[in-house]
Amino acid sequence: MGKLNIAAVFLMLMFVSISEALVVDISKHGARQNADIAQALTKAFKEACASTTKSKVVIPKGTYKLSAVKLLGPCKAPIEIQVQATLIASTEKITEPCWVSFNHVDNLTVSGGGVFDGKGPKVWGGLVQGVTSKDSKQFHVNVIGCTDLHFVRFTISAPHESINTDGIHIGRSTGIKVLDSNIKTGDDCVSLGDGNQQITVERVTCGPGHGFSIGSLGKYQDEAPVIGVTIRNCTLTNTTNGVRIKTWPASHEGIASDMHFEDIIMNHVENPVLIDQVYCPWNQCNAKLPSKVKISKVTFKNIRGTSSTPVAVKLSCSPGHPCQGVELSNIDLTYTGKEAPAAISQCCHVKPKVSGRMNPKACTATV
């Protein structure tokens, strides 16, 4: 009986040992404060990635420089990057499309309350991705071809005059969630390109910025459909747009369907509710030809607040493919300027289904 007890204890100790997470501090690989840690971070990540049990790479408190780095998978088990530090990007223009890149890594967690400082005012170009993203050079985060990636309590900070600094851009991805986050930037707070499915943006504050945008779509041939987008319980303040879907005229064929905007507060927003199928910046397109992107199953529900322009609701759909299944429910938007006595709605090539309170009065024309 005694031998059996010893064996059982031994097996239990083996199980505890095997299940413990591997923790790799970057200082083990030569990282020093105020020095470039790209090489040390790459080595630490490689060591952790090779672990057959879950692992964690720790960047401890302090200030470190970080040049462009690619962290490559696949990894053998779930991996966490715990950033407690402030990471400072080079002020030189970057040649890589991303500053910090994770490639072929499943079950990745980024945590720790640290800051990725992109030093964007020097050049406004590049990408910053992390718990806090400050002054990115271009897109703060670019999510391309990802599955089941979540951003929680994510902070983005850049001034309204920063150029092309989309907060989180998502393309050809599935199951992406942006939750409980605060985004201040010079372009779209969250932008969605083609090929996205089952995207959720919830409890996010946006402003300054260009709001939440789906598109622009239809510019390129063979764009994948956008299906299943929900943006709810969000607040936008002093943004140039609220919630919008935009496609190019004279476009290639495309599909955007099952998109829902619910429980949203607008504070002094220029275009609170917008479908724009004649999106043509700088007049670099043939606006006389209709968009071929088919928009359907769109709901705008429980949207309230103030518009800084008279047209609070604008549904400008394609004459070639009129919008189908657009619903407006419980809209209460007040115009705060002096150009008109009240907010108005405009509709082209759509006949929305209307229910509940409607301010401004909903347009019902199909042309």
- The predicted pLDDT at position 5 comes to 57
CATH (one of 3.30.750.24, 2.160.20.10, 1.10.3720.10, 3.40.1410.10) for 124-359: 2.160.20.10
Catalytic residue chosen out of the listed positions 29, 169, 210, 321: 210
Per-residue confidence in pLDDT tens, the chain, 367 aa: 445 455 454 444 444 444 578 999 999 999 999 999 999 999 999 999 999 999 999 999 999 999 999 999 999 999 999 999 999 998 776 666 678 988 999 999 999 999 999 887 765 563 334 478 889 888 989 999 988 888 988 999 999 999 889 999 999 999 999 999 999 999 999 999 999 999 999 999 999 999 999 999 999 999 999 999 999 999 999 999 999 999 999 999 999 999 999 999 999 999 999 999 999 887 878 888 999 999 999 999 999 999 999 999 999 999 999 999 999 999 999 998 876 678 999 999 999 999 999 999 988 766 5
Q: Does the annotation mark 210 as catalytic?
A: yes
> What are the structural domain ranges in the chain?
22-120, 124-359
Catalytic residue chosen out of the listed positions 166, 187, 194, 258: 187
Look at residues 361, 264, 354 and name the one whose alpha carbon lies nearest to residue 303: 264
Question: What is the spatial distance between Cα 219 and Cα 342, in angstroms, rounded to a whole number?
Answer: 36
- The predicted pLDDT at position 9 comes to 44
* 97 upstream amide cis, omega within 30 of 0: no
- What is the longest distance spanned by two Cα atoms in the chain? 91
- The predicted pLDDT at position 19 comes to 52
Contact 56, 21 (CB under 8 A): yes
- The predicted pLDDT at position 337 comes to 80
- The predicted pLDDT at position 21 comes to 86
Contact 135, 116 (CB under 8 A): no
- The predicted pLDDT at position 219 comes to 92
Q: Does the annotation mark 187 as catalytic?
A: yes
Look at residues 249, 239, 240 and name the one whose alpha carbon lies nearest to residue 216: 249
